[in-house]
Structure formats: structure tokens, C-alpha cells
Amino acid sequence: MDFILDRDDDTPQKTGYPPIDFREALNDEQYAAVTAAPGPMLVLAGAGSGKTRTLTYRVAWLLHQGIPPGEIMLLTFTNKAAKEMLHRVHDLTGEDSRRFWGGTFHSLGNKALRMFGDSGVLKLPKNFTILDADESESLLKRTVEAEDKSFFKDKTNPRPKPLFSVLSMARNTQESLAKTVDDHYPQYREIAVALPTFAKAYAESKRKQNVVDYDDLLELWLKLLTEDQKIADYFAHRFRHLLVDEYQDTNTVQSQIIDKLASHHCVMAVGDDAQCIYSWRGADFENLMTFEQRHPGTTIHRIETNYRSTPQILELANGVLMAQPTGRHFDKELRAARANSTKPYVVQAMDDREQAEFLVKRIRCLVEDEGVSPSEIAVLYRSHFVALETQLTFSRVGIPYHITSGVKFFERQHVRDLVAILRFIYNPADASAWQRIACLLPKIGEKGAHKIYNAAADHARLMQIDFVDALDTDDVKSKVPKASKEEWPSFCASLRQTAEDMRNETPQITVETAMDGWYGDYMKGAYADYMDRVDELTAMSGFAQRFDEMQDLLAQIVLLNGETNDRGVEDDSQAIRLTTIHQAKGLEYDVVFVIGCADGLFPGRRAIESGDVEEERRLFYVAVTRAKNELYLSYPKIASRAGPGGMLLTPSRFLQEIPPGLYEALRIKRSAGW
């Protein structure tokens, strides 16, 4: 196959663009990166330093140097980021964005496969179609069932969705399936030996149907670049300049694609090692740390002038970075472009409730007395369960909030499942609760659940026995689909034990019994993030300890969901933002509260147990650098069971590592106010 270097269209190349005073538009650090000579560059852009501006002006600079747009490739992680940058380039230069190769890794992978997928290496017909997530999981399910028809009958084995997550993680990290399971999905260790067979069969199923999934767009593109030298040479020479956004978030496959594309060494990788926080999604910290070794002659540009935060907030952020192990990071120090203000505050609360009450009081002062817009106030947290008390308190006192990291705690799927179990046992006449839990079993739909329910109700009346006991009788079991018969006894046994505890034990113990029984095994197979969800249900157990009667617990859950919440806010500007730190990356707020800053909560318990808290430290840095004007770091002294454990907590090691002079300790006055 022969190739010629051509552009995507026959539009004449512009010879002139509107003049731009690059020196005036950029600070010294940005200007040095934007105007650097061709060659491999690593741009370490600190938080709030104008990363997007630097990338945009670099593209404009290249155009001004006579580089045709068709010879520039811009790789991003989201379509939104690509569109934003190309739109800014258009505003600066008037250049048509369609003339660039700009977009996500996957979109450009698709473009490459359409051009060369039918080569001798892949033999992929150009009319291939792309499976969406649901279609990929459905095909994987059929493939696995063809290999092992009983695999999905074991409720502790991963369902298609988490199984696909395991295979996807292994493909994107280029690790063995055994190592992937060991590192990320330990609940599936017992079935790890079967996974290579499933992966191979799934790949063959896709080949026969001439379809690819999302991961194939990268894997097959890399295969082209690796195994077909002519295609590799085409890309290496076609694109004289390669610009990569958020380089610290690349996984192994993405990094290898960049290395192949940049074999001519005209690559500008923009990122920040201090913001590498997505290893759970496959991002590899080493990609950035070893960039210089893989691209000889790399020049490093540091962009450290921060336009977002006050000097005091940045001093604390720099204090966080100072605690990183030597040799495991790039030296950097953020400098503020803004005027001095108040120091960040560290707040010790007695427990989760007092922490939430502090938030209420301070937020009301900010909004009512200081005129801060509610939408400019964010409450950040490491994990969903840490925010349970905050959500409950905000709802109780009528503070509108918007959860940008997902749904409210009691609306999360696994929490609703557990609540449905409790509701049904408390009130067997609650057919809605029954239907929700029955439909979790294989091959039981709404009609089947209704049939089983009626049979159990009739038998309970006839034999004068409890509804739960009736479920395990022969008359009722005859209505259970064949696919569910194997786990029906454990399902019934779990309901019986939960019912017994509901009669004789506290609501807290009852909740723990329900989550440890059949449903605990169900979650293990249903969710790839099983351990995180266990933590959240443990938080629900902590909430339950407030109540002496199950009726009060169930009533309160319903009432809380019906009170003021994010869906009831007509004007989004009047709602406080509640979000995980991962979801907050790239965002900024006037005032930021980071809650749960205690060891075991942040850093998380599993990170501490593994002996590696460095990504957690980087996550803490990301949280701190979201704040523009005010920053509050709070933690509970005592962990109620609203989180793993019920014990005395110590301040987060990340707080203890910060020199005390960089923050003010704010004492809560428990007698009246704070």
C-alpha cells in the first residue's frame, strides 16, 4: 500500500492570519512554551495556570509559522475540550476547525481505522460498525454463555457490565487479566483463570460480526502503527505537530499511540503530575514521569503562575506537594497572580453531624451576609458515603444543593435495593418493594415477580404463616424460573434472617444483616466498584443507629428524599455544589469546603492498608486548588458508623504534613454558634 501526504480537503492553504501580539497576550512562561522551537516538549501546567490558553496559542503560533492546519493533530480526552480549543483557535485566526485532526483519542482512532483498517495487518472491512456500551456488554454476555452456560448463574461471578470493565481495564493498561484482577478487582480472583478464554472468544465474536467496541478504536489503531511501517510513516510525516491535552491522564495504550505518532519528535504534551488521579480508570502516572526517556531531547516548560487562587491557598497547595517522595514528582511551585487574602481554615468537628452543622452556619453567613452566590460554593469529598450526613442536614434545614457527582445518597441504586429489602420485610404487602428485589434475580421480570408474589400471599393465608416463610415452600418455588432456582434458597434464607433481626435487634444490626446476606453476594457480581458500594452501605448502617424502630428509619428515608433537594431547585444559581473531588477536577469555586479530612476517610482506608497514598495526596492537592477565595478543610474527631469503623479519628496525614503556619485552626463553639 502506498501513501501520499495530502490534506483532508482541497481548500487552498491560508497564507496570512490576523496579527496576534503573542508577547502581550501571554505571560513569560506561557510565551516560552507557545513559541518554542519544534521538538519534543513537556509542558507542566499547574492548576489554574492557563493550560487551555497555552495550547490554543500554540496552535495559532504554528499557523502563523506557516504550518498547514492539516498537519496539526490535537488529542484530547473529551469532545467538549476539543471543541473549546478549536473554537478558540478559530476566534484567534479565523481558521476552519474542520481542517485540523482534532478530537478525542477514540474519535481519531475511528478516523484512522476508516482510512487504513482494511490493510493487511487488520483486514478490518471499512464498513465496520461500532458497538455502544450496552451492545458490547450484550455481545460479551452471549459469548460467555456460549463458553460456559452456567457462569452467570453464580451470583458472585461478575455480571456482563463489571466483567466488561475487567476486560477493558486489562486492554487499556496492557496488563494480564490476572494482574488486573489482583490490582483492581480482588472480588473476582476465584474466576480469573477463566477470563483469558472469555476475552479471546469475545474478540472472535466481534471479528465475525465486523464490529468493534470502544477499546478497539485504540487497540487497533496502535496495532496499525506498530505492525505496519508504511502506515506508521504516513502518520509520523503527515502530522508535523502533535499536541496532547491532559497528558497525565493517559493510559498505556494512549501513551504508546502518542509515542508512535511522535516518532518525528514534534510533540507537545501538556499535563501536571500533581493532578494524576485516575489510576482506577487506567491512567498511568509513569507515562508522564518517563516522557523524557522516551522522547530524547525533550525540553520542559513549567507554567506555574496561577490566576485562580489567593496566595494563601497556593502556599498551602505547595505545602501539600512538598510532602511528596523525592524523585517521584516534578518540582513545581505555584505562584499567585492575585492579591493576599485570608489563610485557609482547618476545622475539627466532634462528629459528622457537627461537621455538617458547621457547613450550614458558615454557608448561611457566606450567602446571607457576604453576598456569595450559592453556585460558587462547593462541598468536596473523597467518597460518596462521606457526604451522607451533609446531604441529610442540608435537606433537613432547607439548603438547596446540587449533586454534580451523581444522584443523592438514598437514590443510588444499591442503596435503594437495600431499602427495598427492608421495606418488604417490614411490610410484606409492599408489592413495589418486592418487585424491585425479586427482579434482581435471574430471569425474573415484573410479571414473574407478580406471579411469585401472589402465590406466596395465597400460601401464607392458607397455611397461616409469615409471608417470608411462604416464599421457601414448594408451592411458591414452583413459580420460580429455572435460572433462579439455584440461588432461591439463599435468597429466602437471607430474608428470613433479616426478618428475625428486625423483630429482635436494632435497625442498625438489621441493616448489617441485610447487606451481609444474599444481597452482599449479589453486589459482588453486579458492581465492579463493589468495595466502594460496601462502604456506602456501611454509611447507611451508621445512619440507622439513630433509630430505635425500623418504622422510624424507613419513614425518615422517604421524608428526606421528599424534602428540599437538587431537583427542587428552579434556579441552579441558588444551589450549593456537592461533588466528589474526581468530578470537580477542572472546575473552580469562590469557596470550597473539603470534608472528611481524616485518616481512613481521606486518604481512604484501602490506600493506607496498601501502603501507597501518593495518588490520594495528589487528589488532596486537586481539592485544595479548586478554591479561589476561601478554603475550609474539616474532619470529624469521632467516626460514627457513617463510614467504615466507629472509632476515634486522627486528622488526615495530608493535614499533618502541612506546616501549621499555612492555615488557621477554626474552633467550633459548641455552646452557641461557632
Give the model's pLDDT for residue 509.
Answer: 93
Residue 8 pLDDT > 70: no
Whether the CA torsion 346, 349, 352, 354 is positive or negative: it is negative
Residues pairing with 103 in the sheet: 75
**pLDDT per position as a tens digit, 115-143:** 999 987 899 998 999 999 999 999 999 99
Residues in the chain: 674
Query: To which residue does cell 429455572 refer?
Result: 482
**Which three-class secondary structure state does DSSP give residue 627?**
strand
- How would residue 567 be classed by pLDDT, with cut points 50, 70 and 90? very low
Give the model's pLDDT for residue 561.
Answer: 63
Residue 12 pLDDT > 70: no
Give the model's pLDDT for residue 293.
Answer: 93
What value does the mean pLDDT of the chain take? 89
- Measured between alpha carbons, how far is 243 from 75 in angstroms, rounded to an integer? 6
Give the model's pLDDT for residue 316.
Answer: 96
Give the model's pLDDT for residue 141.
Answer: 95
Residue 177 pLDDT > 90: yes
Give the model's pLDDT for residue 53.
Answer: 92
Nearest to 351 by CA among 542, 199, 145: 542
- Helices (runs of H) and strands (runs of E) counted in the chain: 32, 17
Whether the CA torsion 43, 48, 64, 249 is positive or negative: it is positive
Give the model's pLDDT for residue 14.
Answer: 53
Given phi > 0 = left and psi -120 to 50 = alpha, else beta, which region is 175? beta
**pLDDT per position as a tens digit, 341-352:** 899 999 999 999
Residues pairing with 241 in the sheet: 72
For 126, the grid coordinates are: 471499512
Residue 279 pLDDT > 80: yes
**pLDDT per position as a tens digit, 70-122:** 999 999 988 888 888 889 998 999 988 888 888 899 999 999 999 999 987 89
- Cβ atoms of 249 and 586 closer than 8 Å: no
Given phi > 0 = left and psi -120 to 50 = alpha, else beta, which region is 633? beta
- How would residue 273 be classed by pLDDT, with cut points 50, 70 and 90? very high
Average pLDDT over residues 152-160: 89
Query: To which residue does cell 414452583 refer?
Result: 478
Residue 441 pLDDT > 70: yes
Q: How far is CA 572 from CA 85, 375, 381, 393, 590, in A?
A: 27, 7, 21, 19, 16
Residue 674 pLDDT > 60: no
Average pLDDT over residues 429-435: 91
Give the model's pLDDT for residue 628.
Answer: 97
Give the model's pLDDT for residue 642.
Answer: 45
- How would residue 412 be classed by pLDDT, with cut points 50, 70 and 90? confident
Residue 211 pLDDT > 90: yes
**pLDDT per position as a tens digit, 357-387:** 999 999 999 999 999 999 999 999 998 889 9
For 13, the grid coordinates are: 492553504
- Cβ atoms of 167 and 192 closer than 8 Å: no
- Cβ atoms of 315 and 30 closer than 8 Å: no
Strongest mean pLDDT among 231-235, 554-558, 622-626: 622-626
Paired sense of beta strands 129-130 and 41-45, if any: unpaired
Give the model's pLDDT for residue 536.
Answer: 87
Give the model's pLDDT for residue 646.
Answer: 57
Give the model's pLDDT for residue 225.
Answer: 94
Paired sense of beta strands 305-306 and 377-381, if any: unpaired
- Helices 488-504 and 518-526, axial angle in degrees (round to 10): 130
Q: SS in 3 state form for 569-591? A: CCCHHHCEEEEEHHHHCCCCEEE
Given phi > 0 = left and psi -120 to 50 = alpha, else beta, which region is 79? alpha
Residue 1 pLDDT > 50: no
- How would residue 459 be classed by pLDDT, with cut points 50, 70 and 90? confident
Give the model's pLDDT for residue 641.
Answer: 55
Tell me the percentage of the chain whose pLDDT exceeds 90.
64
For 275, the grid coordinates are: 493532578
- Measured between alpha carbons, how far is 210 from 575 in angstroms, rounded to an integer? 48
Average pLDDT over residues 425-436: 91
- Cβ atoms of 663 and 348 closer than 8 Å: no
Average pLDDT over residues 418-431: 92
Amino acid symbol at 417 = D
603 prior amide bond cis, ω within 30: yes
152-183 burial by CB neighbour count: b if 16+ within 10 A, else e?
bbebebbbbbbbbbbbbbbbbbbbebeebbee
- Cβ atoms of 380 and 577 closer than 8 Å: no
Residue 6 pLDDT > 60: no
- Cβ atoms of 481 and 452 closer than 8 Å: no
Q: How many Cβ atoms from other residues are within 10 Å of residue 140's Cβ? A: 23
Residue 671 pLDDT > 70: no
